[in-house]
Amino acid sequence: MPQLAQRVGRAKPSAIMVIAEKAKQLKAAGRDIISFSIGVPNFLPGEHVYAAARESLSHDSGQYGSNRGAEVLLDAFLKHIEALGFSGYTRTNLSIGIGAKHVLYNLAEALLDEGDEICFAAPYWTTYRDIADIVGAKVNVMHCGPEQNYKLTPTQLDAALARKPRVFLFNNPSNPTGMVYTAGEIAALADVLVKHPDTWVITDDIYNSMVFDGIGYHNFVFARPELRDRVIFVDSVSKTYGMPGWRVGLIAGPEVVAKAVTTLNSNHITSLPEVITAAAVAAFSGPQEVPRARCAEFAGKRDIVVAALGAIPGVACPRPQGAFYAFPDISVAFGKSHHGTKINNDVEFCAALLEAKGVACVPGSAFGEPRAMRISYTCPTAQLQPGLARIAEFFAELN
């Protein structure tokens, strides 16, 4: 048989999917499973989104569309980002992709040659490493543990940028930690970025609508507008509008980058379907009650999660302030046993927790932090308390 390309071998199956798959199997076998594993919003977009999609279908041209995105979508996105605080952008600064994941892959192809360096903080979203591996980039991880609230410091960033990486990839609010950077923290990091003009900056901020405690969403270009010619903002309808399956991602950045991504689109995907475009336009420009209500709901669930984890002796959980994830440090369990099963690390912890209590969480090592595990709290509230109680029980039974 002929060989596959080496880049395929570099791409690993997602650890999140592995645990989710195991949970699904146990459920199919009749076990009572509570899943805290997948980061999918458990809500649907507003009715106006479906109405726009139906209406679009009734006069669909069936033709290819724009590689950059339909003008109506670009205009809706411009209004959306202006409401977030971006100013001075035009259609030429924008481009589209099939979800933020595809947009990030396009950006990696557009900005990184084989052997170039990309840096990002750990804990990181698993896909960052995979995309870097696929395009053959070198990864420099900046470790940001629970003792620093999982947040990157200006000193760490300065040291990483001194190596002149081609790309710095930033994520705020964070998947997997739920951490959100304040205006002051963003400004301090932006000051460092200004000193290093050779590095592109990607801000993957697709959870920007889910920020709690009045912190607000902040971007480097708000603090230092001169960074606009190097910062690429990534957004998506997936998490904000409960539309992960509709697959719409967008960027706002320097014209040269938007043009490069558009050229890649012309070779990869050509365009988005009209019906999807209409749905995304309705999401961006229609009533914003759904995202607002979900944000309030997630803030309430965050309180429940933090309170429950905080009551477990030895478990530290830096308080998330956005998205729908918590990332407790569970390393107190390492070296102990659960009913005779030895737990040496996060992977064994999550496997034993799923087996013994039917609760699926993702091992932190998937995100570059093996002392922790990720809890995604998008499940119904009725499952949240029992799931957390089972985790507490599991810890209490360790010896």
Angle CA(188)–CA(194)–CA(199) in degrees, nearest 5?
115
Per 3-state DSSP, the chain is made up of helix, strand and coil in percentages (nearest 5) of 45, 15, 40
Cα–Cα distance measured from residue 125 to residue 362, given in angstroms and rounded to the nearest whole number: 12
238 counts as binding ligand PLP under rule CB under 6 A: yes
Cα–Cα distance measured from residue 156 to residue 192, given in angstroms and rounded to the nearest whole number: 10
Instruction: Please state the closest distance from residue 285 (CB atom) to ligand PLP, in A.
Output: 19
On whether the CB atoms of residues 12 and 361 are closer than 8 A, the answer is no
Instruction: Please state the closest distance from residue 133 (CB atom) to ligand PLP, in A.
Output: 16
Instruction: Please state the closest distance from residue 124 (CB atom) to ligand PLP, in A.
Output: 9
Q: How many residues bind ligand PLP (CB under 6 A)?
A: 13
Segment 194 to 223, residues that bind ligand PLP, using CB under 6 A:
204, 206
Block residue for tokens 């990157």: 152
Among residues 34, 73, 95, 101, which is the contact residue for ligand PLP, using CB under 6 A? Answer: 101
Q: What are the backbone dihedrals phi and psi of residue 286, each rounded to the nearest 5 degrees, phi first?
A: -85, -170
Nearer to ligand PLP, 241 or 349 (CB): 241
244 counts as binding ligand PLP under rule CB under 6 A: yes
Instruction: Please state the closest distance from residue 66 (CB atom) to ligand PLP, in A.
Output: 19
Residue nearest to ligand PLP (CB): 99
Give me the torsion for CA of 296, 250, 217, 199, rounded to 10°.
150
125 counts as binding ligand PLP under rule CB under 6 A: yes
Of 98-106, 187-195, 288-296, 350-358, which segment contacts ligand PLP by CB under 6 A?
98-106
16 counts as binding ligand PLP under rule CB under 6 A: no
Cα–Cα distance measured from residue 272 to residue 64, given in angstroms and rounded to the nearest whole number: 8
Of 49-57, 59-67, 93-101, 352-360, which segment contacts ligand PLP by CB under 6 A?
93-101
Segment 26 to 65, residues that bind ligand PLP, using CB under 6 A:
39
End-to-end CA distance of the chain: 51
100 counts as binding ligand PLP under rule CB under 6 A: yes
Block residue for tokens 């002392």: 371
236 counts as binding ligand PLP under rule CB under 6 A: yes
Nearer to ligand PLP, 73 or 312 (CB): 73
Edge-to-edge order in the sheet of strand 94-97: 94-97, 249-252, 231-236, 200-204, 167-171, 117-122, 138-143
On whether the CB atoms of residues 363 and 291 are closer than 8 A, the answer is no
Instruction: Please state the closest distance from residue 345 (CB atom) to ligand PLP, in A.
Output: 24
165-184 footprint of ligand PLP as x/- string (CB under 6 A): ------x---x---------
Interacting residue ranges for ligand PLP, rule: CB under 6 A? 39, 99-101, 125, 171, 175, 204, 206, 236, 238, 244, 249
